Homo-oligomer: A and B are copies of this chain.
Amino acid sequence: MLGAMQDWPLRLERLIDHAAREHGPREIVTRWADGSIERTNWAGIHRDARRLAQALTALGIAQGDRVATLAANHARHLVSWFGTIGAGAVIHTINPRLFDEQIVYIANHAQDRVLFYDHAYAEIVERLKPRFDTIEHFICFNPPAGDGGFEALIAPHDGRYIWPEGDERAPAMLCYTSGTTGNPKGVLYEHRSQMLHSFIQATPDMFALAARSAVLPVTPMFHAGAWGLPFAAAMTGAKMVLSISNEPAILHRLIIDEQVTHSCGVPVIWLTMLQHVEREGGDFGRLSNITCGGSAAPRAMIAAYMDRGIHFTHLWGMTEMSPVGTVAALPADWDELDREAKLDLLTKQGFSAFGVELRIIDDEDRVLPRDGVTSGRLQTRGAWVIARYFRADSDAIDSENWFDTGDIAVIHPDGALQLTDRAKDVIKSGGEWISSVELENAAIACPCVAEAAAIGVFHPKWDERPLLLCVAKPGIEPSADRVREVLSSRVAKWWLPDEILFVDELPHTGTGKLLKTELRERYRDHKLPGV
């Protein structure tokens, strides 16, 4: 026996239909690179999305075909999402900051048929065009005046378009995640998975989105779909503010002028923003919620925002999770906590959203307790978690749907998640784990250290012991002893590196992360003192 409620497929075109019908005049603001402000609204996005769907149909784009973008955050990029998805095709956002090799690999692997790109990335497109195997149409979002492009593409169309029906499990969006080894891997979001993600994203303990919110995602639309915010904003009828630039002065101006209430981005954005406001004076206007992810935010910065009455919270997620996993929501006893206890909580990665499960396991796949002490490999499963990478031959999950995140974490008795390291970076000494991230964070607290990397190096007795590589701050005499002294006050004695070396520079990936694979390779045969 089935129930007797209506059929209502969870299809994403319903979001833009709803936004246009119930929140049509709510603005979508774009600040272009030249400082000009362009305004449209949900009704305008809806109309242009349908015009684009007509244009894509005229180009022969069929259901399931991939339409790529190489673009920053702006309203036309938003139109390209809803138009492509509404037409039944798949929007594929490519990160323009990747190396050429990766962009070429991704576009060819995805078998993209169309590429929409920003004029700012025209050089990349020209350079790589001969190497793209499947792209038939290259369309510039913002060509120099009178030069065709996106607006010319949709100009002949009137928007009288009925979205095709489709399965709610059909793909809607494709995002590649690039690790430090191997080829990038594609995550194929579904209409259904992204819709469920949006539902939970709007709730008070996640992003707390309402019709009166004005959302400025600093997170690029090519990073896991700006963390899903364009969908959740359409669902709730929130205003959107989109900026090409990430300059703190420019973002701050937008926050004030456009009465932004919600924003999100990586810690460095919020650090430079805070420094800007502290230097220039002023406040944050109506900004009430900042969601910060990508890496851990410093405690002092969280405190500074908290003291200004802003709800600053950590998000943890992954491209493979659409991407939201946890948010450091306020617990029931928040009002009773003292300042330090509040900060303890906000520096953790937060609590599972409904729809996402977490667990930690040891090297023998035994489930570990949520005791706030034991650390293990973090696994997840849930309504918007990957099952299989795009065009892969086998699942990315085990038989019970658990996906290995590659993170090392502790789960506290209250359910709060605390990441301690990446699994491939953790240093395994005598069967115990030493967090490379915590060693590095402790090291950069030393005045003479600009950047630090901790890696495990072979040790005949302990399997691995830590080697700490530091880049000295200019103008300060580097001293390994002083670093050791600082570390001694911050980490357990057995965590102290067997050796601390100063180097000229450390290697990084295209997105600015430490390239530890290269360091481990470089120091593979390094002899630690006393070995």
A residues contacting B by CB (< 8 A) are 1-8, 14-15, 18, 21-23, 26, 64, 167, 169-172, 187-193, 196, 199-200, 202-205, 208-212, 214, 235-237, 239, 322, 329-332, 334, 351-352, 354-355, 357, 381-390, 397, 401, 415
Contacts and interface: CB of A to CB of B under 8 A. Distances in A.
Nearest to A187: B4
Nearest to A239: B332
Nearest to A190: B3
B1 A64 contact: yes
Given A3-B190, A5-B385, A354 B235 contact: yes
B332 A387 contact: no
A189 B334 contact: no
A214 B331 CA distance: 12
A203 B196 contact: no
Contacts of A390: 4
A274 to B, nearest CB: 25
The oligomer's copy count stands at 2
A388 B7 CA distance: 11
A32 to B, nearest CB: 24
Given A330-B210, A332-B239, A354-B18, A4 B386 contact: yes
A97 B337 CA distance: 45
Contacts of A381: 6
A210 to B, nearest CB: 4
Contacts of A202: 203-204
Nearest to A17: B357
A257 to B, nearest CB: 16
Contact of A199 (B171, B187, B199, B387): B199
B355 A8 contact: yes
A496 B210 CA distance: 42
B397 A189 contact: no
A417 to B, nearest CB: 11
Given A18-B354, A21-B415, A354-B235, A330 B212 contact: yes
A6 B387 CA distance: 5
Contacts of A3: 169-172, 188-193
Given A1-B64, A202-B203, 15 more contacts: A2-B169, A2-B170, A2-B190, A4-B188, A4-B389, A5-B190, A5-B387, A23-B415, A196-B199, A203-B209, A205-B211, A205-B236, A210-B329, A212-B330, A235-B354
